[in-house]
Every structure is written in C-alpha cells, then in structure tokens.
C-alpha cells in the first residue's frame, strides 16, 4: 500500500506545527514579561477558588495595615498631648512647693497661669483637624476656659461647665478579633486639674490673698494643703498616659502580626501565580527554536512543491 502525500496535507501539518510553536512562544514570553503563570483566574484552573479566597484575605489585611498607620499616628499625637498635661500638673506642684520653700509667692500666680495654658493646650489638642479629647464632638473645642480668671467668676462657676465633650470614646478594630479603645475625654483629664487651679485662684482673690509676696501663716498652710491634690492629679495623669502607651504597644504588636500574615499569604499566592523564571526562560528559548524550525520547514516545502517545479 502506498501512502499518498499531498502538498496541501503537508502545508496543513507544517502550519499547525508553526501555530502551536507560536502559541507556546507567546505563552512563555508572557510569563517571562509578567513573571506570572497566567493573566486571570481561568489560567489557574483548579486553584482559582483558593486564589480568590487568598486575595480576599490579602485585601482585608491591607486595609488593616493602612488603618494601623493612622491609629499609631493618632496615638503618638495623643501621647504628646497627655505628656504636656501631665508635665503642666507636675510643674504646678513644683511651683507651689518652691513658693513654700522660699516663703514667698512673688511669681507663683504667673507660673500657674502659664501652666494652665499648657494644660489647656494639651486638652484641646487636635489630630487631623479634629479635637482628640472631645469624644464624638470632634469639631467642638472640648475645654472653653482660657485663663485663671475664667475659673472664679463671680459667681464661682461649676468646673463641669467648662467641658464640651460628650461621653463617646473612640474604638478601633485592629484585626478580626482585636478591638481597642483609643479615645480619651477632656473632662476625665482635666476636671480635677481645673478644680485645683480654681481653688488656688479663689484663695488668691479671697480675704487671705493675694499670693504675691511674702507668705503669711494662713497662705503657707493653704499652699501646703495643695501639694497632696496636685500630686494625685499628676499621678492620675501619668496612669492615663501609660494606658495610652499600652494601647500603642498593642497596636504595634498587632501591626507586626498582620504584616507577618500578609507576607506569608503573599508567598502562598506567589507559589500559585508566580512563574518559574528559569523554566519560563528555557521554554521561551525552546519555543523560539520551534517557531524558527517550523518556519524553515514551511519555506523548504514551499520551494519543493510541484507548483514550484512546474514553473
């Protein structure tokens, strides 16, 4: 039996080989260029569902990572404000102690005025244009007092009347299972401080005042009675500052954990989507040779065809 060989059949076979080689070359070229196995989910066949789930988790982790940066920045600003308030309380106590030691209150009220301003500046601190310690009233200045005179009237105002914050304390979700309270309230930070400033200012304005020179026995006794409250105020503010620091540490820990999980997940996704570059380069080279060989056969066949001979 003689196998019949036709020109059209030979052309068809060579053309199919050429097209297949070109397809392999294009696929290998895409992998080398993109460093990925495929262009979309259908290229990953049975692993497409797993890849979709991984990318969903990856997106959620990315959102948490961005949120951690904002929370950490806010807490850092909050820490600065808390330290400023705490330092104002400590400096006030020291000024009172210095006056008692010297037996003279010549500059005491000026020092207290300065420290009140420092404390109020901390209580009215902002982050991103919003008041940190205003609760939910972030566009409303939480403390309205500006100077010692505001604290004494007449009549003697209630300390609560100087605070405009509500009771809302902001919380933040750090990951799927961790929620922390990041908000603090100006009234919690400053009520006792303003009351202590008010007591000294009222005494200064009262019949046993003013506190502006050599101390009388009554003035000495009064100032000594103020040391305890101011130490308590400073101590309580230190505790609140430390609490903010603990939240900062918690945010940092969760941030590191989320980063580790994101890196691990990225590696797992890469195992599915990333091309083996050594293999891809080898396949590209082989595909290019196949294309060249198929093209050469096509040209040779064209030159040896019956039509060519008849010409």
pLDDT of 272 > 70? The answer is: no
Q: Concatenate the DSSP letters of all residues of 276-290 into one string.
A: -HHHHHHHHHHHHHH
- Give the model's pLDDT for residue 261: 86
Q: What is the mean pLDDT of residues 264-287?
A: 62
pLDDT of 310 > 60? The answer is: no
pLDDT of 2 > 50? The answer is: no
Q: How far apart are CA 311 and CA 301, in angstroms?
A: 15
Portion of the chain with pLDDT greater than 70, in percent: 69
What pairs with residue 175 in β-bridges?
Answer: 178
Among the ranges given (57-61, 120-124, 203-207, 257-261), the one the predictor scored with the smallest mean pLDDT: 57-61
- Give the model's pLDDT for residue 288: 62
Q: Residue 178 carries which DSSP code?
A: E
Contact 244, 82 (CB under 8 A): yes
- Give the model's pLDDT for residue 309: 47
Q: How far apart are CA 291 and CA 22, in angstroms?
A: 6
pLDDT of 123 > 70? The answer is: yes
* 145-164: pLDDT as tens digits: 999 999 998 899 999 999 99
Q: What is the mean pLDDT of residues 236-242?
A: 98
Domain boundaries of the chain, sorted by first residue: 51-269, 277-311
Greater confidence (36 vs 87) lies with 87
Q: How far apart are CA 127 and CA 254, in angstroms?
A: 22
Greater confidence (281 vs 144) lies with 144
Split at pLDDT 50, 70, 90, the class of 18 is low
Prediction pTM value: 0.75
Q: Which fold has domain 51-269?
A: f41 fragment of flagellin, N-terminal domain (1.20.1330)
- Give the model's pLDDT for residue 248: 97
For the chain, what is the mean pLDDT? Answer: 84
Q: How far apart are CA 111 and CA 103, in angstroms?
A: 16
Q: What is the mean pLDDT of residues 274-283?
A: 56
Contact 287, 28 (CB under 8 A): yes
Q: What is the mean pLDDT of residues 83-89?
A: 98
Contact 197, 112 (CB under 8 A): yes
Q: Concatenate the DSSP letters of all residues of 189-230 into one string.
A: HHHHHHHHHHHHHHHHHSTT---SSBPPHHHHHHHHHHHHHH
């Amino acid at each position: 039996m003689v196998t019949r060989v036709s020109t059209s059949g030979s052309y068809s076979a060579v053309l199919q080989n050429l097209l297949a080689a070109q397809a392999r070359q294009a696929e290998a070229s895409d992998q080398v260029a993109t460093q990925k196995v495929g262009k979309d989910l259908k290229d990953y066949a049975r692993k497409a569902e797993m890849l979709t789930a991984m990318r969903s988790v990856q997106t959620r982790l990315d959102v948490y990572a961005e949120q951690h940066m904002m929370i950490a920045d806010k807490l850092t600003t909050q820490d600065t404000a808390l330290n400023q308030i705490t330092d104002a309380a400590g400096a006030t106590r020291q000024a009172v102690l210095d006056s008692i030691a010297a037996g003279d209150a010549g500059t005491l009220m000026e020092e207290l005025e300065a420290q009140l301003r420092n404390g109020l500046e901390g209580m009215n601190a902002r982050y991103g244009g919003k008041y940190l310690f205003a609760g939910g009233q972030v566009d409303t200045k939480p403390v309205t007092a500006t100077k010692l005179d505001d604290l004494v009237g007449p009549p003697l105002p209630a300390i609560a009347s100087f605070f405009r914050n509500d009771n809302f304390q902001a919380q933040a979700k750090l990951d799927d299972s961790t929620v922390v309270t990041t908000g603090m309230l100006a009234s919690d930070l400053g009520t006792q401080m303003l009351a202590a400033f008010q007591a000294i200012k009222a005494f200064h304005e009262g019949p046993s005042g003013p506190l502006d020179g050599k101390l009388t026995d009554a003035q000495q006794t009064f100032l000594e009675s103020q040391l305890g409250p101011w130490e308590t105020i400073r101590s309580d503010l230190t505790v609140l500052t430390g609490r903010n620091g603990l939240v900062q540490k918690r945010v940092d820990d969760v941030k590191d954990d989320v980063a580790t999980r994101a890196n691990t997940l990225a590696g797992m996704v890469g195992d599915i989507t990333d091309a083996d570059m050594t293999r891809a380069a080898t396949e590209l080279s082989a595909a290019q040779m196949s294309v060249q060989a198929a093209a050469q056969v096509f040209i040779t066949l064209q030159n040896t065809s019956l039509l060519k001979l008849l010409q």
